[in-house]
Amino acid sequence: MRLPLVAFDIDGTLLRTRGAGRQALDEAFLQLFGWPDATEGVNVAGATDEVICADVAARFQAPWSPADSARVIAAYLPALERRLAEPERTEVLPGVGALLDALEGVAHVALLTGNWSIGAQRKLAAASLLGRFPFGAYAEDASDRNGLVPVVRRRAAERGLAVSGVVVIGDTINDVACARAGGAAVVVVETGFCTPEALAASGPDLQVRTLAEGAPWILALVAAAQDMPASA
């Protein structure tokens, strides 16, 4: 039986880490390249970690390569883990657990995130959510976020899952652009990094204040995605 695929963003959608990821990146760039406050002025809301790194390098007029990304990841992870271990650093946003429970049996659930996969795993583990997402699409899977919907569809197929439509749930205008590029429906939640006005202007299918308040409408949109063509 084909089921809709619901693909969740992480930061600002499922959880908050009070800047842990950005601070850990800054620490890694300072350690490796001597660049202070490396991400200052760089848009990180809805951007992939790979794009953030390239933008930081451009800010410092430096070339960037996959080998540089690998070095940053190696320095970033311990810095991230230290921050995530701090008491009350990680907050699961309202309604996340209940919505995931409600989706069981009616949709396939996955991640669609700008985080590197290994960073995503650390954040989800800190929030006790790691076991809720069996697969996903991550920063290393596409040159920018707009290429991630086809990746998450492919990952579902590789697991033998029959997918009808895809619904992306995120908190930024980049999530809307990503969904549109991949032919997916999109829900935006106002718990993240964009103003409600900016989210509305981006043209989502549904905009909600929190996942808790918006759950009935989200579930209705997911039910409608049951009838979307698999290639939409």
> How high is the pLDDT of residue 232?
46
| Residue 218 shares a structural domain with residue 113 | yes
The domain boundary residue, chosen from 84, 106, 135: 84
Among candidates 7, 22, 6, 5, which has minimal Cα distance to 193?
22
d(CA 96, CA 215): 9
- Which CATH number goes with the domain that contains 75? 1.10.150
- What counts of helices (H) and strands (E) characterise the chain? 9, 8
| Residue 111 shares a structural domain with residue 208 | yes
User: Residue 77: CA atoms inside 13 Å, Cβ hemisphere, count?
Assistant: 12
Note down the domain range covering 47. Answer: 20-84
Do 109 and 8 meet the contact criterion of CB atoms below 8 Å apart? Answer: yes
Q: Is 150 helix (H, G, I), strand (E, B) or coil?
A: helix
| Residue 197 shares a structural domain with residue 120 | yes
Among candidates 137, 109, 159, which has minimal Cα distance to 3?
109
Query: Any idea which residue has 């271990």 for tokens?
Result: 85
The domain boundary residue, chosen from 50, 84, 118: 84
| Residue 170 shares a structural domain with residue 137 | yes
**What DSSP element (H or E) covers 180?**
helix 173-181
> How high is the pLDDT of residue 229?
59
Query: Which regions in the chain score pLDDT beneath 70?
Result: 228-232
Paired strand residues for 92: 15
- Which ranges of 127-169 does DSSP label H, i.e. alpha helix? 148-158
At 3, list the tokens. 């089921």
| Residue 99 shares a structural domain with residue 203 | yes
> How high is the pLDDT of residue 1?
84
